[in-house]
Amino acid sequence: MAVPATAAAATTDDGAGAYRSKRYRNLFAERLGRSPDEVHRRIEQTFQQLFHGDGQEQRVYFETGANANGTLAYVTDWANNDARTEGMSYGMMIAVQLNKKREFDALWNWSKTYMLTTDPANPSRGYFAWSMGTDGSARAVGAAPDGEEYYVMALYFAARRWGNGSGIYNYQAEADNILRGMRHHPLVTATPPFRIHPGDAPFVQPDTPWPSPNNRHEQERAAKEGKPWPPHWPKRAPQPVTVGPMVDEASNMVRFVPETAIPGSDPSYHLPAFYELWARWAPPEERPFWARAAKVSRDYFAKTANARTGLGPDRAAFDGTPLPMWDGSPGIFAYDSWRTVSNWSVDYSWWGKDAREPELAERVQAFLNGQGIDRFVDRYTLDGQPKSDRHSTGMLAAAAVGGLAAKPGPVPDAFLRALWDTPTPAGEQRYFDGMLYLMSMMHLGGEFRVIDRRDNE
């Protein structure tokens, strides 16, 4: 049984943000003069387009039959033709925030049915496979902690918004179970190929990359260098894999992946705004860890952000040192990194505990504004050298959330205006851009909140 929120919070510092005040800023109204009704309609229209719009050009949410637990649905990365725990859990978070229970339950049902690893011979048993084909076939057999984190938070909010049901819809029990597994998954070593479920065919990684328009820059680089595309990855004898917890207890932070041979963390996986709630709502024995993790994550943001640009790497060691990319090149600000400015800004908005977070938000926004708010690119070296030529709506959206932490002024207002004037993403790249766009609109419009029973008492 869940401990009442008031009792759980008795020994915690509630900070100076929206968690204490119950006031969530609507920056579109406050800074741009848009009416609250207009902002709400815009958020609802965006949800309807991404979840129920045209299937070829607009939506990322697809219902696909039913099972004994009800409707099944997935959120797809349209460009890559897969479903990812990142997008599934983002979709659940959006649904619970906007009170869309059908969509929430359908996404959770698909996640549990297809993505949860249940084969005892797979060392990731109990975790969710981070990438699956939209037909429920495996695209990967390992897990990514950002998906698990958003699943936990969305489920806790669902328990407080709708109450707990039975089976997989006992949201509180499901969240508790995932959170315990993140810390206490045993160290298990096995040799692939692995299955997601008993009876599945073993998953064998293809010897060329999955077809994807996101590979376009690699194709272009290969053409310039006279190399073949797609590259061939020579088959190697399978090597043992050891999987353990998703957190590093010594550093009090989330890992990049639970495979022990892969070091470090990902700054964009750090969610101190959520950890503060877990320090209150998680099983009692788990709470002290997440209280420590919230403080550590705020320090990690400061350590990993470049002193001039504020840009942080996709991956970093536990001490904050940037780690190289998959191809051995120096660590850069890339797609995962877009989310970091949103993470620290939401933390400041909800809790107001770290005075460094406004400065970090202002630093990133100032750098990107200097690059041109309508043309900054989506990948940079940490000191600000461009590494692509694409301007991305998702990155604009996440950077605009910096306005929740930054001091009011012309630069944060320029980001707000640019986001408001940008249409909802459609077409090939609508998945990641669209998910970040909608959640950012919700954050900045005051419709992404802590959902807590005590607010209704």
Interval 39-74: pLDDT, tens: 999 999 999 999 999 999 999 999 999 999 999 999
Q: Which of 86, 174, 357, 378 is catalytic?
A: 86
Predicted confidence at residue 1, as pLDDT, reads: 39
Predicted confidence at residue 232, as pLDDT, reads: 66
Domains of the chain: 5-201+239-456 (1.50.10.10)
Catalytic annotation on 218?
Answer: no
The mean of the pLDDT values for the chain is 94
**This model's pTM is above 0.85:** yes
Q: Which of 105, 148, 149, 336 is catalytic?
A: 336
Band of residue 228 on the pLDDT scale cut at 50, 70, 90: confident
Tokens describing residue 23: 């006031």
- What would the pLDDT profile of 266-320 be if each residue is shown by its tens digit? 999 999 999 999 999 999 999 999 999 999 999 999 999 999 999 999 999 999 9
Catalytic annotation on 362?
Answer: no
Predicted confidence at residue 6, as pLDDT, reads: 40
